[in-house]
Structure 1
Amino acid sequence: MTLTRPLVAGVITALVGFGSSFTVVLAGLRAVGADPAQATSGLLAVSVAAGVAALVLGLRSRLPISIAWSTPGAALLISSGVPAGGFPAAVGAFLLCGLLIVVAGLVRPLGRLIAAIPTPLASAMLAGVLLPLCLAPVRALGEVPGLAAPVIVVWALATRFARLWAVPAALVVAVIALAFTGPDLTGADLLPTPVWVAPMFEPLTLLSLGLPLFLVTMASQNIPGMAVLAQYGFRPPLRPILLVTGALTMLAAPFGGHAVNLAAISAALAAGDDAGPRERRWIASVTAGLGLAVLGLGAGLATALILVAPPVLVQAVAGLALIGALASSLTAAVGDVGRREAAVVTFAVTAAGVAFLGIGSAFWGLVAGAAMLLLRPRPTAPTAPTAPPVAATPTTAPGRHRRE
C-alpha cells in the first residue's frame, strides 16, 4: 500500500506532463525549422532526457525531484520563428542553453545573478512570449469553428470540475474531431527515430534564441521548481540539478531536444501529500520520469496527428495549455508597483515579436525593461518631520517644594 500511492502519483504526473504540453514542444520545433522527422526526434529526445534526469536525481537524493521539458522555452521557439541558419542554428542555440545551465551550476555567482533578475521583468518577458500563442484559441474559433468550439468548451468545463485534466481532455476532443474529418495517416512513420542534426553556431541566433531560452528556463522553471519543492519541505541542492539537466540538455540537443529542467507545475503532484509518505515520494518522481520517457515513444503518432490538423487548431490546444502560465506571469509582472512600468515595457516589446539587428524580441524586451528600471527616478527620502518643542521638565518632584 505504501508503494501504490507514489506509483499512481508518478503515472498521473507523467500523463499530465506529457499530454498537457507535447503540442507546444512539437509546434515550437516546427516553428524553428524542424521537419516532421526532426520534430519527432526532438520530442523523443526531451522525453528520454527528462526521464533519465529524474531517475538519476531521484535515486541519488531520495527526494521527489520531478523533471520536465521547458514548456515556456518551447513557447519561446514558437514566437521566434525560423532563425538564420535554419534548424541547425536552433540546435546550436539548444546546446548553448544546456552549456549555460551547466555553467550556472558550476559558477555560483552566475546562478545568483540569474536569480537576481527582477521577477517582474522575467515574468513580463514570459508573458510577452505566451500572449500570441494564448490568442490562438480565439483565432481557431474564427477559422475552424467546428473543430475549435468543442475543444474550447470541454477545456472550460474541465477547468471548472477537473482542472488537472483540462488540457488532456481538450486534446482528446481535438483528436476525436480530427478523426471525424478523416485524416489520412497512411504512410506515416509512427515509430519515432532519433535524427542527428549537426549544430550550427550562428552568433545572432545564439544571442536571440539560446540566451533567452536559458533565461526563460531558469526563471520560469528551475527557480519556481525549487520554490514548489520548498513549499512541501524538500530542499535539494540546486547545483547537482543544474549539472544533470544541463548536461542532458546538451546530449539531447543534437537530436532536436530544446531543454530539460525542474518541473514547476507538475512538481506538486509528486511532492504533495497525495504521493504518499514523505520518505517514499521520490518513487513518484522517478516513476514520472520513466513514464515520460515511455510516452516519448508515442512521438511519431503525436507528430502524425499534428501534421493532419489545421495549424491554428494545434496552436489553439497549445494556447489552452499555457493560459494558466500566462495568468501567473501577468500577475507577477504587475504585482510590484515600483517596477510595473518597466514590466509593461518588457511585456509590450516582447509581445510585439519584432526582431532588431536579427535578434528576437524576447531579448530586446528584457533589455528595454532593464533600461526603464535604470532610468526611473530614484525615490526621494522623505524629510524627517520637525520634532515638536519639548516642554520644560520640572526639577522637583510633584508635590514637593524646591528649597531656596
Structure 2
Amino acid sequence: MSSRTDATSLSEPSHGSGQAVLAGVVTAVVGFTSSFAVVLTGLTAVGATPVEAASGLFVLSLTMGLGCVLFSLRTRTPVTLAWSTPGAALLAGAVAPDGGYATAVGAFVLAGLLYVLTGLFSPLARLVRAIPLALANAMLAGVLLVLCVAPFRALVDEPGAVGPVLLTWLVLMRVARRWAVPGAFAAAVVVIVATGSLSAVESADVVPHLTWTTPGFDPATLLAIGVPLYLVTMTSQNIPGAAVLASFGYDAPLRPALFYSGAATVATAGLGGYSINLAAISAALAAGPTAHPDPSHRWVAGVSTGATYLALGPLAAAVAAVAVAAPAGLVAAVAGVALLGTFGSAAASALGDESHREAAALTFVVAASGVAVAGVGAAFWSLLAGGAYLLVMHQWRPSP
C-alpha cells in the first residue's frame, strides 16, 4: 500500500511540472498570436516603418520573456509580463505626431519613467488610483471602438480576403474560445498564401534584427501619447494584473515589476519597446488551477511563459513581413477581433457605474471622435473632458 503511495507521489511532480510547462507555452503562444497585430498596427500608426515595428515586436518579446523568467524564479509565483495591448490600441488610434516616429519614441520614454516613479513613490500610485476607473475604461473603450469596427469596414472592401478570417474567428469563438484569435491569424496566413502575396517577401525581410531610433521630445506628443499610454497601461494592465494574481492567492510584486517594466521601457524605447507590464488578460492561464493543482508549483508556468516568449522573439521580423505583404485590411481585421473582448469589458466597466455614467459617456465619445487639438490627440482630451464634468457636477469619486 505504502509502495503504491510512494510511486504515486514520485510520479505526480513530473506530471504536474509537465502540465505547468504546457500551460506556460499556451499562455505565451496565445498572448503573442492574439495581439501582435495590434502592436504592429500601433507602432505603424505613430510613424514606425515596417522594420522599426518588427524591431519593437522583437525587443518586447525579449524583455517581457526575461521578466517572466526572473520574477517567477525569484518569487516562486507565476508572474507573467506582457506588452501593453491597450497601450498598443491607444497608439493605433493616435494621431501620427508631427515630429515623426522619434517623438513617439520620446513619449515611450516618458511612460517608462512614470512606471519607475510609480514603483518608487507611493503618492504617484495613489494619484493614479484616484482616477475614477469608469473614466479610464471609457477612454480605452473610445479608442478601441475605431479599431473594432475596422474588420467590418474591411469586409465590405475585401470580402474574399476578410470573410474567411471573420468566419474562422466566429466558429472558434463557439468551439474553442481561447484559440479564436490565433485561428483568425492562421486563416489570414492561408489567405495571404492563396493570394500569392508572400512572393513579395524576401529572405532578408525575415531575419530578426533590432533598429534604433533616437528619442525626440515634443511637449504635444508627450501629452498626446506618453501620458495616456502610462495611464491606460496602469489602469488596464498593471493594477488588474496584480488583482488577478491576488485572486489566486499570490502576493504580486507590483513595485518591483513596475521598476523593471519602466527601466526596460526606457532602455528599449528606441528599439520600439513602447511598454511592458504585468499581464492581466493572459495571467490567469499561468496562475490558475489549469496550470497545476498545487499553487506552490505554478511558478513553473511563469518560467515556461517567459522561455516561450524568448523563443518567439526572433520570429518578429517574419511575422511583420507577412503582415506587410497581406492584402489591405487583413491585419486590421485580425487586430479588430482581437480587441473586441477588451472593448466589451472596458465599455461595460465604464458605463456600468451609474454615479459616473454620464462622465464616462462623455469621455467615451470624445475618445472615439479622434479629435486632435494643438497636436494633442483625443485620448488626452477625453480624460480632461470627463474629469472636468465630474468636477463641475461635484461627482468625483476616486476608484476604490
Q: Structure 1-normalised TM-score?
A: 0.92
2:378 corresponding residue in structure 1: 361
What SS does the aligned partner of 1:257 have? coil
Between the two proteins, the alignment pairs up a number of residues equal to 379
Distance between the aligned counterparts of 1:131 and 1:311, measured in 2? 20
CA contact 2:64–2:309 (8 Å) conserved in 1: yes
Partner residue of 1:8 out of 14, 17, 22 = 22
- Please give the per-residue CA displacement for 1:128-161, whole angstroms capped at 9, x wherever unaligned: 1100000011111101000111111110111111
Task: Report the Cα distance in structure 2 between the residues aligned to 1:35 and 1:180, rounded to whole angstroms.
Answer: 26
Partner of 1:383: none
Which letter does structure 2 place at the counterpart of 1:155? W
Determine whether 1:255 maps to 2:280: no
- Does 1:283 find its partner at 2:297? no
User: Which aligned pairs between 1:221-232 and structure 2 lie closer than 5 A?
Assistant: 221-232=237-248
SS at match of 1:261: strand
- Please, what TM-score do these two structures have when normalized by structure 2? 0.93
Match of 1:390 in 2: none
1:51–1:293 Cα contact (<8 Å) kept: yes
1:189 match: secondary structure:
helix
Q: Does the aligned pair in 2 maintain the 1:46–1:69 contact within 8 Å?
A: yes
Structure 1 vs Structure 2 CA RMSD: 1.2
Determine whether 1:48 maps to 2:78: no
Q: Note if contact 2:68-2:80 (Cα within 8 Å) is conserved in structure 1.
A: yes
Cα-to-partner distance string for 1:336-381 (whole Å, 9 max, x where unaligned): 11110000000000010111111110000000000111112669xx
Is the CA contact (8 Å cut-off) linking 1:84 and 1:202 kept in structure 2? no
Match of 2:341 among 304, 324, 334: 324
SS at match of 1:57: helix
Alpha-carbon distance in 1 for matches of 2:233, 2:223: 15
CA distance, structure 2, for counterparts of residue 158 and residue 367 of structure 1: 39
Decide which structure has the larger Cα Rg and report it.
Answer: 1
Q: In structure 1, which of residues 233, 251, 258 is the aligned counterpart of residue 249 of structure 2? A: 233
Question: 1:344 and 2:358 equivalent?
Answer: no
Q: Which residue of 2 aligns with 1:246?
A: 262
Deviation at 1:188, TM superposition (A): 4.6
Per-residue Cα deviation, 1:146-191 (whole angstroms, up to 9, x for no partner): 0111111110111111110000000000110110000122355201
**Residue aligning to 1:297:** 314
TM-superposition CA deviations, 1:90-140 (whole Å, max 9, x none)? 111111111100000001110111122101100000001100000011111
Map 1:37-116 onto structure 2 (within 5 A): 37-116=51-130
1:63 aligned counterpart, secondary structure: coil
Alignment match, 1:200? 216
Give the match's secondary structure for 1:68: strand
| Pairing 1:274–2:297 present | no
Letter in 1 for 2:189: V
Q: Report Cα offsets for 1:204-249 as digits up to 9, x if no partner.
A: 1111100100001101100111111111111223211111111111
Q: Which has the higher helix share?
A: 2
Find the residue that maps to 1:279 and give its secondary structure: helix
Percent identity of equivalent pairs: 51
Q: Indicate the residue corresponding to 2:387 in structure 1.
A: 370
Are the equivalent residues in 1 in contact too, given 2:161–2:327 (CA < 8 A)?
Answer: no
Shift of 1:81: 3.1
Q: Indicate the residue corresponding to 2:35 in structure 1.
A: 21
How far residue 2 of structure 1 moved from its aligned partner, in angstroms, is 2.5
8 Å contact 2:36–2:57 — kept in the other structure? yes
SS class of match (2:82)? strand
2: distance between equivalents of 1:37 and 1:26? 10
Shift of 1:60: 1.3
Residue identity in the other structure for 2:342: A
Question: 8 Å contact 2:356–2:395 — kept in the other structure?
Answer: no
Are the counterparts in 2 of residues 188 and 304 from structure 1 also a CA contact under 8 Å?
Answer: no
Within 2, Cα distance between the matches of 1:244 and 1:42?
Answer: 17
Amino acid at match of 1:285: G
Against the structure 1 CA distance between its residues 97 and 345, is the aligned structure 2 distance closer, same or farther, given a 3 Å change threshold?
same
Cα separation, 2, equivalents of 1:181 and 1:5: 39
Give the secondary-structure state (helix, strand or coil) at the position aligned to 1:104.
Answer: helix
Once residues 283 and 18 of structure 2 are traced to their aligned partners in structure 1, the CA distance between those partners, rounded to angstroms, is 18
